[in-house]
C-alpha cells in the first residue's frame, strides 16, 4: 500500500515530462490573448475559470474574429466535452469518494493528467488512495499552466515562433498513445479517430473533437463484438 | 460581456469534467459500455494529434513532404522503443528542427 504522499508524488512524477510541451504552449496561449488585444486580467482569468488549454485560445480567436459570444461559448463547451469521456473512465476509480471530494477533484481533470493517472490506475487497482495520484497529476498541471500563461501574458511571446513549439502538443499526445500501437484493435480505433478528425475538421463549433471520438468508440464497440 | 461569456464557458467546462465523476452512478453503465470505455485514450487523442500535424495554421492540409510528418514519425519510433515521454517529445522536436533549420534554411 502506498501512502497518500507517495501517490501524490508519483502523480507529479508521471506528469512532469509533459511539461516540456505544456509550458511552452501555455506561454504561447497567454501571449496570443494579449496580442489579440484582450485585457490581460481577462486572459489570465480564463486559466483559472476555464483551465482548458486549446479551448482558451479558440475562445479568444473566435471573439476577436467577430464571432458572437454564443458561438465562442458553445465552441468551448464542445471542445471540452471530451472530459465527459475521461470522467466516465475515471469514475470507476473515484466511486468511493464523498460527493464534495468528487466535485473538487473534477476541476483538475485534464488530458495529460487523465491519461497518466488512468495508466497508473489500471496497474494499481487495489491501492486505497488512488485519487491522490490524480491530484498529483492535476495540481501539477494546474500550477504549471498558471505560471506559463501568466508568463506569456506579462512577458509576451518570448518563445521564438520559428521554433514551432506548438508542434510539441501533438508529440506529447503521441507519447501517451504510442504503446497502444502494439494492439491492432487500438491502431484501428486511433486511425478511425484521426482520419475522422481531418474529415470533419471544418464542422461547426470545432465539433470534430467530439464527432471523431464518437465514431471511433462506435468502431471500438464493433471490434469488441467481432472479438467474441 | 466578455467576462460573462468566460464565466459561462468556465461553468460549462467544469460540468463536462464533473458530470460523469460526481453525478452519474457507475452502476448505470453496463459491462459493455465499460469495455468500450477502455478505448477512450485511443479514441480521443488522435483527434488532437492528427489536425495538429496535418492541418496548418490557416486550416489547409499540409504537403506530404512537411517536416512535421517526419518529426511525428521519428517521435512514434523513439516513443515505441524507449517508452519515455521526454525522449518521444524531444526526438520529434529535434528531427523537426534539424529539417527546418539545417535542410530548409
What confidence tens digit (pLDDT) does each residue in A175-211 have?
A: 999 999 999 999 999 999 999 999 999 999 999 999 9
Largest CA distance in chain B: 58
Cα torsion for A20, A25, A31, A35, to the nearest 10°? Answer: 150
B64: which 3 cell numbers? 506530404
User: Residue A163: what pLDDT?
Assistant: 86
Residue B58 has pLDDT above 90, yes or no: no
Q: What percent of chain B has pLDDT over 90?
A: 76
Task: Give me the residues of chain A with pLDDT under 70, please.
Answer: none
- Per-residue confidence (pLDDT) for residue A6, from 0 to 100: 97
Judge contact between A197 and B53, C-beta under 8 A.
no
Identify any residues that bridge with B61 across adjacent strands, giving them in sequence order.
B55
- Which grid coordinates belong to A49? 475559470
Q: pTM of the prediction? A: 0.94
Distance CA B42, CA B12 (A): 25
DSSP A83-135: HHHHHHHHHHHHTTS-HHHHHHHHTT--HHHHHHHHHHHHH-TT-TTTHHHHH
Buried b (16+ CB within 10 A) or exposed e, A24-61: bbbbbbbbbbbeeebeeebbbbbbebbbbbbbbbbbbe
Distance between CA atoms of residues B73 and B50, nearest Å: 12
What chain B residue is nearest to A110 in terms of C-alpha separation? B17
Whether the CB-CB separation of A137 and A11 falls below 8 Å is answered with yes
Residue A51: what pLDDT? 97
Q: Is the pLDDT of residue B27 over 90?
A: no
What are the Cα distances from residue A113, in Å, to A72, A139, A143, A212, B13?
Answer: 25, 9, 13, 21, 16
**Predicted confidence band of residue B64 (pLDDT cuts 50, 70, 90):** confident
Q: What is the pLDDT of residue B11?
A: 98
Share of chain B above pLDDT 70, in %: 99
Gap from B28 CA to chain A (nearest CA, Å): 11
| A47 within 8 A of A64, measured Cβ to Cβ | no
Grid coordinates representing B84 are 519515455
**pLDDT of B36 higher than 90:** yes
Tell me the pLDDT of chain B averaged across its residues: 93
Q: Cα(B1)–Cα(A218) distance, rounded to whole angstroms?
A: 39
Whether complex ipTM tops 0.90: yes
CB-nearest to B96 from A17, A167, A175 is A167
Which site among B32, B47, B88 would you substitute to test the A interface, given the most A Cβ atoms closer than 10 Å to its Cβ? B47
CB pairs under 8 A between A and B: 261
Instruction: Answer whether residue B46 shows pLDDT above 90.
Output: yes
Residues of chain A neighbouring B42 (CB-CB closer than 8 A): 177, 180, 186, 189-190, 193, 216, 220
How far apart, in Å, are the Cα atoms of B33 and each of A180, A217, B18, B29, B30? 20, 10, 19, 6, 5
If we measure between CA atoms, which residue out of B29, B99, B4, B3 comes closest to residue A88? B29
In eight-state DSSP terms, residue B61 is B
8 A C-beta contact, residue A78 and residue A205: yes
The C-alpha cell 468556465 sits at B10
Q: How far apart are CA A217 and CA A84, in angstroms?
A: 13
Among residues A19, A60, A63, A68, the alpha carbon closest in space to that of A153 is found at A60
User: How many other β-carbons are positioned within 10 Å of the β-carbon of residue B53?
Assistant: 23
Amino acid at each position: 500500500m502506498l501512502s497518500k504522499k507517495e501517490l501524490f508524488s508519483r502523480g507529479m512524477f508521471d506528469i512532469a515530462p509533459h511539461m516540456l510541451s505544456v509550458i511552452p504552449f501555455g506561454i504561447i496561449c497567454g501571449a496570443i490573448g494579449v496580442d489579440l488585444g484582450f485585457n490581460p486580467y481577462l486572459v489570465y482569468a480564463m486559466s483559472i475559470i476555464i483551465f482548458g488549454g486549446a479551448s482558451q485560445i479558440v475562445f479568444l480567436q473566435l471573439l476577436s474574429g467577430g464571432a458572437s459570444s454564443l458561438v465562442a461559448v458553445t465552441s468551448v463547451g464542445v471542445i471540452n466535452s471530451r472530459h465527459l469521456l475521461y470522467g466516465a473512465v475515471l469514475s470507476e476509480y473515484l466511486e468511493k469518494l464523498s460527493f464534495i471530494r468528487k466535485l473538487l477533484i473534477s476541476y483538475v481533470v485534464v488530458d495529460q493528467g487523465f491519461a497518466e493517472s488512468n495508466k497508473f490506475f489500471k496497474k494499481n487497482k487495489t491501492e486505497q488512495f488512488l485519487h491522490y495520484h490524480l491530484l498529483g497529476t492535476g495540481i501539477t498541471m494546474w500550477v504549471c499552466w498558471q505560471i506559463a500563461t501568466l508568463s506569456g501574458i506579462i512577458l509576451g511571446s518570448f518563445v521564438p515562433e520559428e521554433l514551432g513549439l506548438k508542434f510539441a502538443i501533438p508529440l506529447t499526445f503521441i507519447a501517451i498513445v504510442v504503446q497502444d500501437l502494439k494492439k491492432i484493435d487500438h491502431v484501428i480505433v486511433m486511425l478511425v479517430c484521426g482520419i475522422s478528425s481531418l474529415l470533419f475538421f471544418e464542422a461547426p463549433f470545432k465539433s470534430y473533437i467530439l464527432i471523431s471520438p464518437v465514431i471511433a468508440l462506435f468502431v471500438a464497440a464493433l471490434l469488441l463484438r467481432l472479438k467474441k | 460581456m466578455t467576462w460573462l461569456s468566460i464565466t459561462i464557458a468556465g461553468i460549462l467546462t467544469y460540468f463536462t469534467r464533473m458530470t460523469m465523476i460526481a453525478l452519474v452512478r457507475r452502476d448505470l453503465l453496463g459491462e459493455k459500455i465499460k469495455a468500450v470505455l477502455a478505448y477512450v485514450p485511443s479514441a480521443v487523442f488522435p483527434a488532437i494529434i492528427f489536425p495538429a500535424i496535418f492541418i496548418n495554421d490557416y486550416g489547409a492540409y499540409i504537403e506530404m513532404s512537411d517536416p512535421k510528418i517526419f518529426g511525428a514519425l521519428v517521435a512514434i519510433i523513439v516513443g515505441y522503443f524507449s517508452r519515455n515521454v521526454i525522449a518521444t517529445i524531444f526526438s520529434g522536436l529535434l528531427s523537426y528542427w534539424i529539417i527546418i533549420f539545417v535542410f530548409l534554411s
